[in-house]
Amino acid sequence: MKGTPFKLKQKLKPAAAKRKAEADVAMAKTPARKARKAENQRIGQRSDSDLHHTGSGVKRVSIKNNRGNFGNGTKNE
């Protein structure tokens, strides 16, 4: 097999990569993201399931369902 079918890294100009890195850090440090990360750490991650954030809190769901958009696929997300 030649290469990989997955795009592992974006090909950005150095200036664009720097702006993207800054934007990614800024997004990760918003109050909502910080609260979700802290909540995930309190609950604890397991290797047999994912934590799924809903409007009413966090549910533990199967990896297959969470990453497969609960049977709807991910092509149209």
Q: In this predicted model, what pLDDT tens digit does every residue of 10-62 receive, in sequence order?
A: 888 999 999 999 999 999 999 999 988 898 889 988 888 888 888 888 889 88
Distances (CA, A) of 54 to 9, 58, 60: 29, 6, 11
Dihedral, CA atoms, 53, 59, 60, 65, nearest 10 degrees?
A: -70
pLDDT at 18: 94
| Every domain of the chain and the residues it spans | 23-69
pLDDT at 13: 92
- Residue with the bigger pLDDT between 46 and 6: it is 46
SS3 29: coil
Dihedral, CA atoms, 13, 15, 17, 21, nearest 10 degrees?
A: 180
Structural tokens at position 59 = 């549910």
Contact predicate 55/64, CB 8 Å = no
